[in-house]
Structure 1
Amino acid sequence: MDTACQQPQVEFDAASTSHQADCLFPPPSGNGAPASSSARPFRPPRSEPPPAPQVCTNDVQNSEPSAEEYDPEAVKLSVKEAMNPPNKRKIVLKFNSALQLVGNEAGLLSGVMGLLGSNYTKFPIYEKDWRKVRTRDKVYNECVKEMFYFEEDSRGMIKRIIFKMLGRAWKETRNRLYHHCYDSGLSLEENIKNRPSGITADHWRWFLDYRNSEET
């Protein structure tokens, strides 16, 4: 995992890292083949037509990840470990026909997006609207898709779900930083001097101007 996707150190926890999940694929059996009561393959009776191939009910393409890219073993990862997996392999996300995330990986994705969305070095806090944050696609392609394997749907619903998670964390982090670091008893310049580490003076000034404006 590129170090650019890792979370910077802050004075408070941006998200809980206690959530763990069973990720990726279950471990193979001892001989490399799934357990079976018989080695003989199933064949339908000759008097009946063969079963029709199964077709996915949504518009997500189904494809199997290669062993070189995706971990074939079920591994328990914490949220922080998922941000920088020890084996450098991706976590597989599973969606049902309604494009809802299923399995324990759902909680892991939520935790990772909470940490990533609270990374104010990637998502500047001074923007007034999450939709105006110009780094969203860059982080989605270079971080989210480097940590997780999933097939995108043609309507972009999965991407919007992930953006919503990131945006929620971004907004919560801005509120937390404001209440944690801003002191109304100090002047603007004093507050800028006492800004959180990792945020430039200009970004903090613009953010405070926005938060303290009458319109806000």
Structure 2
Amino acid sequence: MLTSQRQQNRRGRTVMRDVHALDPDDVLVVQFNERGQPYGDIQPVLANFVGTIARNGNLLPLSFLDWRKMPKKRLNDAWRKVTARFDIPDRHRDVIMQMMGAAWRRWRTEIKAKSYDSNIPLDELVSIRPVPQKLTPEVWEALCHYWNTNEKISKINQENAKKKRGSHALGRTNIPSLEHKF
């Protein structure tokens, strides 16, 4: 069989079923350094779990277009979901919410890269069925209109992104975990 005809095995999206299924009495303890950053063996689990919460379109929908405009009630609900599975003091909420905001923006960027094409007319894009990435039709339409109106800024940002040189090569291990290890 030719390589191009083979079906590739893909891992798929991280869903963290084991953490979501934890008993309410079994919470994972996260360690934090003096700067309030999580580290240690549980840190990658926390980061992946926060990503699953950020990609929950019912809890944190992309229709708000800007993380800073996300309603406080939704952010509080997301925080409660994280603290239901992890033992995290309230003083570390800002760090966790920054992680969640970054994951939410990555999700939106991924959807745009995979599903949005500026060369396709807007009315055709909006009418795509089924709607990409399990979004609601209303959210997909709002995103398409937003991306279409900001096309000039997007092109400038794409050109600037091509000029970047170095990239992160640590994998799942964050810098605080490496500091603790050494």
The TM tier, using the shorter chain, reads: 0.5 to 0.7
Aligned residue in 2 for 1:76: none
* Number of aligned residues: 138
Write the letter of the residue equivalent to 1:94. Answer: Q
Aligned-residue RMSD, C-alpha: 2.5
Whole-angstrom distance in 2 between the partners of 1:144 and 1:206: 28
Aligned residue in 1 for 2:124: 190
Please give the secondary structure, in 1, of the residue aligned with 2:18.
helix
CA-CA distance at 1:151 after TM superposition:
2.1
Aligned residue in 1 for 2:103: 169
Aligned residue in 1 for 2:85: 147
CA-CA distance at 1:164 after TM superposition:
0.9
Aligned residue in 1 for 2:77: 138
Please give the secondary structure, in 2, of the residue aligned with 1:121.
coil
Whole-angstrom distance in 2 between the partners of 1:206 and 1:13: 26
Aligned residue in 2 for 1:4: none
- Unaligned residue ranges in structure 1 (runs of 5+): 1-10, 18-78
Write the letter of the residue equivalent to 1:108. Answer: V
Q: Does 1:205 align with 2:121?
A: no
Any conservation in 1 of the 2:31–2:39 contact (CA below 8 Å)?
A: yes
Whole-angstrom distance in 2 between the partners of 1:150 and 1:187: 47
Q: Does 1:113 align with 2:50?
A: yes
Partner deviation per Cα, 1:103-150 (whole Å, 9 max, x = no partner): 211111111112221222221213232111112122112x11111112
Whole-angstrom distance in 2 between the partners of 1:84 and 1:187: 43
Q: Does 1:127 align with 2:64?
A: yes
- Unaligned residue ranges in structure 2 (runs of 5+): 1-9, 154-182
Whole-angstrom distance in 2 between the partners of 1:202 and 1:12: 29
CA-CA distance at 1:152 after TM superposition:
2.0
Determine which structure has more spread, i.e. the larger CA radius of gyration: 1
CA-CA distance at 1:206 after TM superposition:
1.2
Q: Which has the higher helix share?
A: 2
Any conservation in 2 of the 1:117–1:123 contact (CA below 8 Å)?
A: yes
What is the TM-score of this pair, normalised by structure 2?
0.65
CA-CA distance at 1:185 after TM superposition:
4.3
Q: Does 1:179 align with 2:113?
A: yes
What is the TM-score of this pair, normalised by structure 1?
0.56
1:183–1:98: structure 2 CA closer, same or farther, 3 Å change rule?
A: closer
